[in-house]
Amino acid sequence: MLVKESFRWLLDSLSTGVLLLDEDLRISYLNPAASALLATGSKSLGQPLETVFLDHDVTGMRAALQRALVQGHPFNKREAHVWMGGGEAVVDYAVTPVHPESYSMHLLMELQPMDRLIRIAREEALLANHHATRQLVRGVAHEIKNPLGGIRGAAQLLAKALPNEDLHDYTNIIIEETDRLRHLADRMLGPRTLPKMQQVNIHECLERVRHLILAEAKGDVEIMRDYDPSLPELHADPDQLIQVLLNITGNALQALRENPDPQREGRILFRTRPQRQYTIGSIRHRLVLQVDIEDNGPGIPPDLVDNIFYPMISGRPSGTGLGLSIAQDIVNQYQGLIECQSIPGQTVFTVFLPASGGAS
């Protein structure tokens, strides 16, 4: 037996995927971690590596493996984009030539998936940047609000002292614009009331948002549902969750209305799924509720996708850029996160809410 029983149990215990390839680059052994990564089992034994694992740089991978067999030199590939397990993935893989007794040269291949680590790093950066930006915006909003009361009061006093009624139009403009700025500053500061925590069914919140959006859409957009009824209830403020979902879905409706496609009907999809042992930022949660809000609109420009949750960033001339920032801020209170992926014809906002999360 090529892999001795005394070592097999060690390899089988590793969380790193390990494969052994023969001189024809066929799989002669794989441990359970590799089997899980490649979504295969013992049926892959004796099969060519490329049937279950293929680098996007196919030519480069084949040449590197052949060189390792012939010259006996190990090599590493970092953050390789590969096809495995029936889908795309990012992995680090290392190949080491080995020459077992009574056997020809073999290759020991170690697979380390990087998708999860890359996602965790991205989420940690997003959370840190969002927190810093929100603190900055709140500081600016306070500085804006401080003089507005004085400006409004002075305009009211000035209006009373003016001898000509026609001049009141100018003081009215000052008062109206001051009120508009106060409203904007209040939105930048976010909600100032404590959340009313209770047990909430996320599907009830989605249904409330669905009815509101359908009433506003007036038949222009179809809203489809793909719910997982097994999701548990959340301990949250239902009004806050509805605001989050409404901000995202309202943006989707506006995008579909402002960019109608005569070739297809506008569509929004609500989808819910559980995620077990899921990491958000640096915290691992036993159970996370995943809510996808997907539309078939024109998509978000690539230069905006990475910044879409920052305050004052908007893809529409009339937008304030606060809706998604406020939504992200609310979800962060529940130790959750909102992510966005967008290509022309498909934009997906994903809300992750830990089942055990609570507002701070």
Cα(256)–Cα(164) distance, integer angstroms: 49
Mean local confidence (pLDDT), 343-357: 89
Q: Which CATH class is domain 5-113?
A: alpha beta
Q: Do domains 5-113 and 192-360 have the same CATH topology?
A: no
Sign of CA dihedral 155, 156, 161, 165: positive
The pLDDT confidence band at residue 359, using thresholds 50, 70 and 90, is very low
- Work out the percent of the chain whose per-residue pLDDT is above 90: 33
- In a 13 Å sphere around the CA of 220, the CA atoms on its Cβ side amount to 16
Query: Model pTM greater than 0.85?
Result: no
* pLDDT mean across residues, the chain: 83
* pLDDT at residue 14 in the model: 80
On the question of pLDDT at 255 being above 80, the answer is yes
What confidence score (pLDDT) does residue 201 get?
95
Q: Is the pLDDT of residue 120 over 70?
A: no
Instruction: Report the pLDDT value the prediction gives residue 360, as an integer from 0 to 100.
Output: 42
DSSP H or E segment with residue 98:
strand 87-98
Domain ranges in the chain are 5-113, 114-189, 192-360
pLDDT bucket at 41, cuts 50 / 70 / 90: confident
Q: What is the dihedral of CA 134, 136, 140, 146, to 10 degrees?
A: 80
Structure tokens at 8: 């097999």
pLDDT at 81 over 80: yes
Q: What distance in Å separates the CA atoms of residue 323 and residue 314, rounded to the nearest whole number? A: 9
pLDDT band at 269 (very low <50, low <70, confident <90, very high): very high
Query: With bands split at pLDDT 50, 70 and 90, how would you rate the model's confidence at 314?
Result: low
pLDDT of 123: 66
User: Of 291, 217, 225, 308, which is closest to residue 256 (Cα–Cα)?
Assistant: 217
* Exposed e or buried b per residue across 112-139, where buried means at least 16 C-beta atoms within 10 angstroms of its C-beta: ebbeeeeebeebeebbeebeebbeebbe
What is the topology classification, in CATH, of domain 192-360? Heat Shock Protein 90 (3.30.565)
What average pLDDT does the segment 6-31 reach?
A: 84
**Residue 7 binned pLDDT confidence (cut-offs 50, 70, 90):** low
| Of 307 and 45, the one with more pLDDT | 45
In the numeric block, which tokens belong to residue 312? 């004052």
> What is the arithmetic mean of pLDDT over 263-282?
87
14-28, 78-92, 124-138: segment of lowest average pLDDT:
124-138
